[in-house]
Structure 1
Amino acid sequence: MSAAPGPEVEIEVSTLSSLAGIPAAEWDACAAPEAADGGRPNDPFTTHRFLHALEESGSVGRGTGWEPHHLLARKDGKLIAVAPLYAKGHSQGEYIFDFNWAHAYENAGGNYYPKLQIAVPFTPATGRRFLTAPGHEAEGISALVQGAVSLAAQNRMSSLHATFCTEAEAMAGEAIGLLRRTTQQFHWQDEGYGDFEGFLAALSSRKRKVIRKERRTAQEFGGEIVCLTGDQLLPEHWDAFWRFYQDTGSRKWGTPYLTRAFFDIVHRTMADDVMLCLALRGGRPIAGALNFIGRQTLFGRYWGCTEHHSCLHFELCYYQAIDWALAHGLSRVEAGAQGEHKLARGYLPVETHSLHWIGDAGFREAIARYLAAEAEAVDEEIEILTSYGPFRRDRRDEAE
């Protein structure tokens, strides 16, 4: 593929077929400049180590429908912005779905695939997608957008999408001329609770009793629950979690997205970025939930089990995540895509954002009308769902 440079002649936009072709420090200076102080990145998903683990493990690349063509923007030879970009041969593993768009376009005689996607594969977590070095935000985003659109147009692709971007990026992209899409998922937010009991105290009496009952029921599985990170993680823990992941993946997606090698690479290069919560019975893992750790957020990603026990899923994925976040000074838990059942457990609906460029003018106009109607429906749904949240009425009144 080839990409034309942006209109500003001093900025050159190019593509990179593998992150092996760029030093980690150079990529991360754009992807996670906040980690330059030695702390954590806001999220680990756009870091060189995470994206390269996907490539090195064969989870993305030739034959997967996720072919890397990462964007690099240089100004006077200095890297000022990057973006994780993929040519997609399908719409799987995205979580902001455009299957209906694809069907409509192809029914009208067009070829929707391949398309371009600025995204973190298989990861419905909000974060920056147009990764700019400090001081180059506006020109960096502009160069990346123009470079990606030029790449799509030159290669006669139907569309370009940037999914789970930040609200600020969505507004900036809309101002440049991209279509903005609003969707929603459920997040937990610390409101100064201090500990789990403090969180429960903020709930209505009925919801508080339900959660306490669920936690007691979960603990009756006949073992112990441990949360492991860093040097606490051992290869046998990943062997167990791979079994859990395969079971969940085969039921949800048919074929698991991630390869076994991905978890080995994560163990080697990202152990400090993950928290693995395991249910052990007789010392043997029978269920687990994998989380990634950000600067202020715990990101729940995968769950699975080899034995089914009542409420254990809620305990490992939601309650243990809240416990761990509170104990480690994190203010937010993102528990992945979808799932209105999270509402009763203190996870409230929030907006998520994406940006879209559609090459065909008529199709673009139709999508724009659809997105306007969808945004109104999402706003209404968030308002209604929030009103049914588990928090005490007086706390909801204060929030309003």
Structure 2
Amino acid sequence: MSDTYKIRLVTSIGEIDAAQWDACANPEPAASPASRLLAQAEAAITPAGGADNALQKERFNPFITHAFLQALESSGSVGKKTGWTTTHVIVEDTASGRLMAVAPTYLKTHSMGEYVFDYGWADAYHRAGVKYYPKVQVAVPFTPATGRRLLVSPDGGEAALNALILGLRTWREKIEASSIHVTFPTRTEWDALGRNGFLQRTGQQFHFINKDYADFEAFLADLTSRKRKMIRRERKEALAQAGGVEIELLTGAAITEAHWDAFYLFYTDTGARKWGHPYLTRAFFSQVGATMSEHILLVMAKRKNRYIAGAINFIGKDALYGRNWGCIEEYPFLHFEVCYYQAIDYAIAHGLSRVEAGAQGEHKLARGYVAVPTYSAHEMADPRFASAIDEFLIRERAAVDESLDEYAELAPFKKGG
């Protein structure tokens, strides 16, 4: 392996050619026989039509692009001061210097902004007198959206994947970090990491799955009568607030700095109330607006010619990803309209197979979203903690499976629908 590939660390994504990064992150499905085999393997993970299968169809994920991760870095949203120090592990072809694999990697000194909670593990380390931080995190910061994390070029194959995992382990050992955490990988990557000795964890989110609906009314027709009436009432009341609320859908060049100013005010207000300190800086929104606006859908609510609420979504090839929401005027059901119903409407109109509306939120279930599994993989350096955590994860996976079955029974769709 050492003769074929060179493994090294970069402290800024700006050191890596954007085209080479993106060729690893979002390869074309038919670029090579190897990528076709990967697509076939991913499609075989779950039965045709299942939520996991729809998720595996994704062949473009905006969050692992060079532009998105560069915006996080250059805007100061991540960096040493934030506790997310960039330490991307890369694998290069020794002869040509071409990038063959990369993992978006960060050295963490806390567990915030990850959405896979390991505070209990950190507390156990602390009580045992062992350091839990720093730890190595392979993730997209502040983004609980499933996607590839071990970004292997179609030409790299298993050898490049193994080199990437070796690079992560070597880096962890060198800095004496407690652990490696790969959060929100695909099911295919989760299985591969399990085969490589990582501990496997599952979680759950609520996604809207588009059953080739002709329009929003066709989606409503698939629901039970009670849920259908509830959603119609909520949408009507959301727009009738305080003299009337208008909804604007903006993407591409239609999004201006004035829109970002308004949205950032919503975002910081919500962040200050919910978690104390917003993760993303104002500059981040300007940068993604400048570099990837065609992959952004901004849903803005206006009352009396003044923006009062908004939600930012990112557009993948086969999915709409709801990310951040905020408001400066609160009205009943406005959050549901801006974040959930407008996203469903957009996904149906544009032929997207699903909407991922972020972490948590059982209330999404009543509004046409269904529970789906999410994945993470963890390697603990200390075998004592690894054994204890493995036992915990076995019980937790069983509980998650049971929860998914229960949510399936509670889905708001007509029986047999």
Corresponding position of 2:363 = 341
The 5-angstrom pairing of residues 247-258 of structure 1 reads: 247-258=269-280
- Whether 2:398 is the aligned partner of 1:376: answer yes
- Whether 2:93 is the aligned partner of 1:75: answer yes
- SS at the partner of 2:72? helix
Corresponding position of 2:25 = 31
The 5-angstrom pairing of residues 134-283 of structure 1 reads: 134-221=154-241, 222-283=244-305
Corresponding position of 1:4 = none
Corresponding position of 2:109 = 89
Question: How far 1:78 moved relative to its partner?
Answer: 2.5
Corresponding position of 2:54 = none
Give the alignment partner of residue 83 of structure 2, picking from 48, 56, 65: 65
Whole-angstrom distance in 1 between the partners of 2:331 and 2:255: 24
Question: How far 1:35 moved relative to its partner?
Answer: 8.9
CA deviation profile, 1:255-297 (whole Å, cap 9, x unmatched): 0000111111112112111000001112211000100000000
Corresponding position of 1:398 = none
Please tell me the residue identity of whatever aligns with 2:100: I
Whole-angstrom distance in 2 between the partners of 1:345 and 1:292: 21
Please tell me the residue identity of whatever aligns with 2:26: A
Question: How far 1:8 moved relative to its partner?
Answer: 4.4
Corresponding position of 1:13 = 7
CA deviation profile, 1:67-98 (whole Å, cap 9, x unmatched): 00001101233211011000000000000110
Listed as ranges, the gaps of 5+ residues in structure 1 are 1-6, 396-400
After TM superposition, what 4+ stretches of structure 1 lie above 2 angstroms from structure 2?
A: 34-37, 75-78
Q: Contact 2:212/2:348 (CA < 8 Å) preserved in 1?
A: no
RMSD: 1.4
- SS at the partner of 1:344? helix
Whole-angstrom distance in 2 between the partners of 1:84 and 1:98: 20
Question: How far 1:10 moved relative to its partner?
Answer: 1.5
Please tell me the residue identity of whatever aligns with 1:199: F
Please tell me the residue identity of whatever aligns with 2:405: E
Whole-angstrom distance in 2 between the partners of 1:52 and 1:203: 42
- SS at the partner of 2:346? helix
Please tell me the residue identity of whatever aligns with 2:406: I
CA deviation profile, 1:73-132 (whole Å, cap 9, x unmatched): 012332110110000000000001101100011111100001000000000000000001
Whole-angstrom distance in 1 between the partners of 2:115 and 2:380: 19
- SS at the partner of 1:145? helix
- SS at the partner of 2:385? helix
Whole-angstrom distance in 2 between the partners of 1:21 and 1:174: 31
Please tell me the residue identity of whatever aligns with 1:25: A
Question: How far 1:192 moved relative to its partner?
Answer: 1.5
Whole-angstrom distance in 2 between the partners of 1:166 and 1:137: 16
Q: Contact 2:238/2:245 (CA < 8 Å) preserved in 1?
A: no
CA deviation profile, 1:157-212 (whole Å, cap 9, x unmatched): 10000000000000001011111111111111101211111111111111111111
- SS at the partner of 1:270? helix
Listed as ranges, the gaps of 5+ residues in structure 2 are 32-57
Q: Contact 2:20/2:98 (CA < 8 Å) preserved in 1?
A: no
Question: How far 1:328 moved relative to its partner?
Answer: 1.2
Please tell me the residue identity of whatever aligns with 2:385: F
Please tell me the residue identity of whatever aligns with 2:134: P
Give the alignment partner of residue 320 of structure 1, picking from 342, 347, 359: 342
Q: Contact 2:309/2:326 (CA < 8 Å) preserved in 1?
A: yes
- SS at the partner of 1:258? coil
Moved more, 215-224 or 368-377: 215-224
- SS at the partner of 1:292? strand
Please tell me the residue identity of whatever aligns with 2:113: G
Give the alignment partner of residue 102 of structure 1, picking from 97, 119, 122: 122
TM-score by length of 1: 0.95
Corresponding position of 2:142 = 122
Q: Contact 2:59/2:318 (CA < 8 Å) preserved in 1?
A: no
TM-score by length of 2: 0.91
Whole-angstrom distance in 2 between the partners of 1:55 and 1:241: 20
Please tell me the residue identity of whatever aligns with 1:99: Y
Question: How far 1:62 moved relative to its partner?
Answer: 1.8
- SS at the partner of 1:192? coil
- SS at the partner of 2:358? coil
Whole-angstrom distance in 1 between the partners of 2:162 and 2:304: 56
Moved more, 164-173 or 136-145: 136-145
Whole-angstrom distance in 2 between the partners of 1:347 and 1:209: 16
Please tell me the residue identity of whatever aligns with 1:47: T
Corresponding position of 1:3 = none
Whole-angstrom distance in 1 between the partners of 2:401 and 2:344: 26
Q: Cα gap change, 1:379/1:201 in structure 2, threshold over 3 Å: closer, same or farther?
A: same
Please tell me the residue identity of whatever aligns with 2:6: E
The 5-angstrom pairing of residues 348-363 of structure 1 reads: 348-363=370-385
